[in-house]
Structure 1
Amino acid sequence: MTKLTPMDSDTGARTILVIYTGGTIGMLSGEKGYQPEPHYLASALGNSRRFNDPTGDSHFSNSSSIAEWRTHRGTATPDGNRSPVGTRGSSSTLPVRSTRPVTLQDDISPSVQLGDGVYETFLPSLITPTSSTDKRIRYVVLEWQPIIDSSNMEFSDWIRLASEIELNYSFFDAFLILSGTDTICYTTSALSFLLEDLGKTVIVTGAQIPLSHLRNDAVDNLLGALSIAGRYIIPECCLYFNHTLYRGNRVFKHSSFDLDAFSSPNFPHLVDVGTQIVVNWRNILVPRAVRRFRAHKSMCPHVATLRLFPGITAASAHTFLSPPIQGVILQSFGAGNAPQRKDLMDVIKEACDRGIVVVAISQCSKGSVTATYAAGRSLADGGVVPGADMTPEAALTKLSYLLSKSELSTADVRKLMEIPLRGELTVPVGLSASVPSGLDGVQSVMAHLLRLSTNTPASSTYSSFGALQIEAPPSQSLTERAKDVTASWSLTASDAASTAIAILPYLIHLAASKDDIHALKFCIDAADTAAADPSIEASESGDPVSAIISRGGAAGIVNALDTARRAPLHTAALRGSVACTEVLLESGASVHLRDSLDHTSLYYAARQGHEDVAMLLVKAGANLAGADLSSAAKQMVSLDSAKDQLWVALLEQSESLG
């Protein structure tokens, strides 16, 4: 069996690590009901042509057209398959690192200990069928041993998950966790905080009916999650269920019976899956910190949830708030109200004065804690922190996460509980400062475009957009030339705004290629303003206006792709612009985007020998991936050159990360 590096460019596929912790999705019927069975899930997926088609001979890989199907049918076996394929039918394996040794049924690849609590195992890889629209997805299943029921999930298990994602972070494009649904919202919430400076997609899913049953929701949930994780970069910990991708720390389980088992009443969906996959980019978090990903590996166990009820006694509350408790999530009535008995309020105030962090959230599934009523203000007067519209799961795991950070004081924890760290709560957001609107806005954009492109040949090395070539008298000012260009235009205010925005993707690539920080920042500010303007709406047309607005302004423009699918960060890396690279990273540019040649911005920085830019990208979480690895060796000529030494350093980093 061939061994591949996780992002082997020969596969043409995105790579995903699937961590199977347990849950209904992989269970079989036993004497006592549904029970987990070791190795069943990977075997079932490996033997399903819907989930594994290494030779491309399945019906799924040969049904994009009638002609293709008829050709395939003439050469296939009676059942439509040329050869049976199981989990060992894959032609390759991928190295996976884990916190514990992995035991396979046939011991084909025993775990090798790399260090204290770090093991590496080559696991059989599976690959989805070919598709006319998407790249294939290569994935491996790392199964926990023993498999655990989600009701037995503990803080240490969340830390283990975070650790295993960290160990494999530089080796895979995305991560998919399979878990039981009873505590899945605690898992997604905890991971959203433990995975710090996340830049890749992490999706958690499960099922109400096992994969082993003919009629089930496991196939749709697993295939949908794989499709999203293999196609998009959504840098959040998410929950996928019943054709919907949710922010992981915004959901709760509302039904143990329905296949539509989860709700997110206080925050819209991230992705809706129907006849098409619709990504609601405006709702997705944009990482702005220029730091590498890391997993926080500690949680405070001395936290709990206290649900208020009519008649609760002060004695009960006092006992609950006694040592060793350090933090409490207080589920209050309505908008944050509590019984106004002095003895109860005194107990809560005394606990807050002792340093216990008490956070009030609502017992209602929809709505937020506010100081609307006197019954709610008394809690705030006693030192209770308002938890806005956080779910019980998000509030508890966030409090546990913050209390585990020794560098934070009690006052720091209380302050941070009111601030959204991973989009877990809603705060009022004011509109950004305005930029010129109407024709003035168009002229401002055109002035920048003219300044950068007039009489200057566009370099195809840096951008596939090209530049407008406009001749003008040298004595004429940029503003005058811009007015001349737009003089004959008859536009409404909305049309003018849309026109200005439509030019921004061209302008930002041009600005990056010319190392023009002023124009670069102008594009980012203009995109932010457009996204905050309620009069400008995005459509489903896929035009530049919709892309910028729907992706949240700056995040849309700094990740805008040209015809070669290069982002401005690719352009800045090729140009060797340290300043542009810094601005783009701080504005949400993704270091993991790959162009049509499957190359990252780090690859281009290294190819041009721009060490300063390469180090900035590495600091922000970049590593050589995909076609970068196979192309890097071809770029090296002599190890005596500074450029080749940079290649060697980056290759060694890519091999050692994790």
Structure 2
Amino acid sequence: MHGILASDASTDVDTKVLVLYTGGTIGMLVGANQSFTPEPHFLVESLRAQTRFHDPLGDSLFSHASTAEGFRAWSHNSSGRSSPTESSSPPGATAIPPATGSHVPTLLVRSSRPIAPPPDRSAPPGQTLFRQHTSKKVSSDCYEMHIPSLVTPRALDAQGNWKRIRYAILEWEPLLDSSNMDMTGTVDVIATEIELNYHLFDAFVVLHGTDTMCYSSSALSFLLEDLGKTVILTGAQIPLAQLRNDAVDNFLGALWLAGYYIIPEVSLYFNHVLYRGNRCSKTSSFALNAFESPNFPALVNVGIDVVVNWSNVLRQTNLRKFHVHKAAAHFVSATLRLFPGITGDIVRAFLMPPIRGVVLETFGAGNAPQRQDLMTALRDACDRGVVIVAISQCTKGSVSDAYETGQTLLQSGVVPGGDMTPECALAKLAYLLSKSELSVQDVRSLVGKPLRGELTAASGDRPPTLTTAERVQDMLAQVVRISTNSFPNSGSRGHLPPITITVDQSGEHKPLDVTATWGSTASETVTTEAALAPFLIHLAAARDDVDAVTFCLEAEAAAERSETGRHAIAGGMVNCVDFASGRTPLHAAALNGSILCVNALLEAGALVHMRDSMDHSPLYYAARQGHEAVVDTLVKAGAHLGGSDIKGSFVALAVTKARRKGDVASLRVWRKAGAEIPQDEIN
């Protein structure tokens, strides 16, 4: 059942989120010595008691406060709570049947190590401690357990659908202060836990101490290769147990973003801002806005509105399944900060074996003292294979060769690290050095190239920008061509039919020269393109017209290069949603068996885990329609069945029908998609 047990009676569409609780300030209590210390099981019990985080029956104030009528109905009786049978659901939501007895729905969770249940202790009268079941060993490095789930009140998602977030908290044992986190130890365990549960959950939130959170988020961004789901790290400066705290906002914000948005990269959420995880640093030990991303804009700003900067979100363009890189380079990389008067002997001693890589924090834009002993020590280390990466000690800016002192450093064999943060540079260097297939020269070459958006790439030559009239002309020509063409792929960019715009200042439609009155401003052009492009790319995907799909993606890139900025399309062109159905272009291509467009969309960063208004994935539609080649491609890209595909028994129904008809071909396609069908049924 992909994590949800059959005993879960809810028929609502739930987003499943796994919370990995490693420790940190967020769940600490005041200890005997009057200092904050981690307290096992407190966080889970505390969240369960808060109706903003936990509302399994949908009968809390938060589930009935979307309208005045709902609140009045909820507070009608003298107790302030209506009975389950009197409970009114938000408009469009499905009422949850009352729970039977004291049963708490559970989620299946996997772990790389056995997790013991909380110790037996007496609960206050009328309360039941929130316990997880004893883990069961299923393989040499995998344990399974059913953890009682928490479920949020219903809320509207970005498409206007009522949804809930159902989440389980896997608590570390023991809980760690962030200063005890190990980038090549504990972080590896976090990556492994995400890998074991990747197909069981839609997103992941990691609760972490703030002191080393940027080290962990940077390391995870590299270890989690070909990531297609949301992973968010968060924590708090003030514990949840304190009356005044930032823990509620940080955890609730991270949980909300993980449950309602697919942002397929490792990110860090703090003080209403979502940052790219390998682009930020902790800049304050006392402020609530403790983190900054000095050289890259935020991915999401959470205020009255949730503003997602989709043009900055990474798009996974490799057609490979998600996997975790586990061969971390232990104790072979380190950080050295230059200071006035540093000697060659200090540097030489620092660079002795087993050190294989060093992040060199230089002055300004990549400058260093020009003493011969220092340059010789650096050159000798580089000659014997040590990879030395130069970054700036400045919070903002990048290393460059603008100064002679910087050029001399690079001539010694030091590699420029661009505008990477120290935490990221160290994590990236350890990641690259741990890949046995890479030579020293390969590592030096990859250090300066963005692998996970961790540094700003050097700007290259930009293609010529079309005039506003030319851009709208091309867009309309594509719409006309593909709308009137019944045969996919019969047109080409080089042979578009001519088109005449009919616009008149008086309001009448008369034939006019396209350059005379159309789109006289760049902003009008961008607005027109943004209105036409989603229609065009969905139509192109359905018709398997790669030329038109490519045109739309290039138009978006051209708009981003223009003076007006970018298309105002949520999720980016490749993931734009049809609000009538909630489907993306990949849904349209999968439904219609458009294999050429499926490949083109995936290469452009289409998200395989997006679901439409019916909570169906592109893989489900491809399998339902029997498009075997599309199923093969989507599975290769990391797609899997889940959500209503499984929970709603849609896959089970399709498989049953195929068995009754003796349709071996359909059974084979469903088995490739991930349905549990014995091999002998398709032989």
Which runs of 5 or more residues in structure 1 are unaligned? 459-476, 539-544
- Which residue does 1:242 correspond to in 2? 271
* Residue 611 (str. 1) matches residue 613 (str. 2): no
* Residue 138 (str. 1) matches residue 166 (str. 2): yes
- Which residue does 2:146 correspond to in 1? 122
- Which residue does 2:681 correspond to in 1? none
Name the CA distance, whole Å, in 2 between partners of 1:81 and 1:414: 66
* Residue 28 (str. 1) matches residue 48 (str. 2): no
Whichever residue aligns with residue 589 of structure 1, its letter is: A
Distance 1:6 1:437, change over 3 A: farther
Q: Post-superposition shift, 1:90? A: 6.8
Alignment of 1:437-456 (within 5 A): 437-454=467-484
- Which residue does 1:541 correspond to in 2? none
Whichever residue aligns with residue 638 of structure 1, its letter is: A
* Residue 110 (str. 1) matches residue 144 (str. 2): no
Whichever residue aligns with residue 17 of structure 2, its letter is: I
CA offsets 1:558-609 (integer angstroms, 9 cap, x no match): 5343521111111111111211111111111111111110000000000000
Whichever residue aligns with residue 615 of structure 2, its letter is: D
* TM-score (normalizing by structure 1): 0.90
* Residue 623 (str. 1) matches residue 640 (str. 2): yes
Distance 1:608 1:432, change over 3 A: farther
Contact map agreement 2:250 2:271 (CA 8 A) in 1: yes
- Which residue does 1:471 correspond to in 2? none
Distance 1:61 1:558, change over 3 A: closer
Contact map agreement 1:402 1:413 (CA 8 A) in 2: yes
* TM-score (normalizing by structure 2): 0.86
SS of aligned partner of 1:146: strand
Whichever residue aligns with residue 16 of structure 2, its letter is: T
Q: Post-superposition shift, 1:650? A: 2.5
Name the CA distance, whole Å, in 1 between partners of 2:590 and 2:398: 44
SS of aligned partner of 1:612: helix
* Residue 529 (str. 1) matches residue 546 (str. 2): no
Q: Is the deviation greater in 110-119 or in 449-458?
A: 449-458
* Residue 358 (str. 1) matches residue 388 (str. 2): yes
Contact map agreement 1:7 1:171 (CA 8 A) in 2: no
- Which residue does 2:59 correspond to in 1? 57
Name the CA distance, whole Å, in 2 between partners of 1:9 and 1:381: 65
Name the CA distance, whole Å, in 1 between partners of 2:224 and 2:424: 14
Name the CA distance, whole Å, in 1 between partners of 2:8 and 2:337: 48
- Which residue does 1:19 correspond to in 2? 20
CA offsets 1:34-92 (integer angstroms, 9 cap, x no match): 11111111111111111100011111111112221111101362488989x99x96731
Contact map agreement 1:443 1:479 (CA 8 A) in 2: no
Q: Post-superposition shift, 1:131? A: 2.2
Contact map agreement 1:8 1:627 (CA 8 A) in 2: no
- Which residue does 2:497 correspond to in 1? 479
Contact map agreement 1:90 1:126 (CA 8 A) in 2: no
Contact map agreement 2:534 2:573 (CA 8 A) in 1: no
Distance 1:68 1:192, change over 3 A: same
RMSD: 2.7
Distance 1:289 1:478, change over 3 A: closer
Whichever residue aligns with residue 153 of structure 2, its letter is: P
- Which residue does 2:341 correspond to in 1? 311
- Which residue does 1:276 correspond to in 2? 305
SS of aligned partner of 1:358: strand
Whichever residue aligns with residue 267 of structure 2, its letter is: C
- Which residue does 2:109 correspond to in 1? 96
Alignment of 1:449-464 (within 5 A): 449-454=479-484
Distance 1:101 1:292, change over 3 A: same
CA offsets 1:156-208 (integer angstroms, 9 cap, x no match): 11111111111111111110000111111100000000011111110000001
Q: Post-superposition shift, 1:556? A: 2.1
Name the CA distance, whole Å, in 1 between partners of 2:485 and 2:373: 80
Q: Post-superposition shift, 1:620? A: 0.6
Whichever residue aligns with residue 161 of structure 1, its letter is: I
- Which residue does 2:203 correspond to in 1? 174
Distance 1:108 1:137, change over 3 A: closer
SS of aligned partner of 2:430: helix
Could you say which structure has the higher helix fraction? 1
SS of aligned partner of 2:388: strand
2:242 counterpart (198, 213, 216):
213
Distance 1:521 1:5, change over 3 A: farther
- Which residue does 1:68 correspond to in 2? 70
Name the CA distance, whole Å, in 1 between partners of 2:222 and 2:378: 27
Distance 1:654 1:207, change over 3 A: farther
Name the CA distance, whole Å, in 1 between partners of 2:604 and 2:78: 52
Contact map agreement 2:530 2:568 (CA 8 A) in 1: no
Whichever residue aligns with residue 658 of structure 2, its letter is: S
- Which residue does 2:405 correspond to in 1? 375
Alignment of 1:403-418 (within 5 A): 403-418=433-448
Name the CA distance, whole Å, in 2 between partners of 1:344 and 1:243: 45
CA offsets 1:385-435 (integer angstroms, 9 cap, x no match): 111111110000100000000000000001111011111111233464347
Contact map agreement 1:93 1:125 (CA 8 A) in 2: yes
CA offsets 1:187-246 (integer angstroms, 9 cap, x no match): 000000001111111000000111111111100000010111111111110110111111
SS of aligned partner of 1:614: helix
Whichever residue aligns with residue 112 of structure 2, its letter is: T
Name the CA distance, whole Å, in 1 between partners of 2:675 and 2:525: 50
- Which residue does 1:547 correspond to in 2? 569
CA offsets 1:309-367 (integer angstroms, 9 cap, x no match): 11112221111100111000111111111111111111111001110001111111111
Which runs of 5 or more residues in structure 2 are unaligned? 86-97, 121-130, 489-494, 504-509, 679-683
Q: Post-superposition shift, 1:108? A: 5.6
Distance 1:148 1:478, change over 3 A: closer
Name the CA distance, whole Å, in 2 between partners of 1:108 and 1:234: 29
Count of residue pairs the alignment pairs up: 622
- Which residue does 1:633 correspond to in 2? 652
SS of aligned partner of 1:479: coil
- Which residue does 2:95 correspond to in 1? none
Name the CA distance, whole Å, in 1 between partners of 2:136 and 2:12: 25
Distance 1:328 1:654, change over 3 A: farther
Name the CA distance, whole Å, in 1 between partners of 2:677 and 2:303: 37
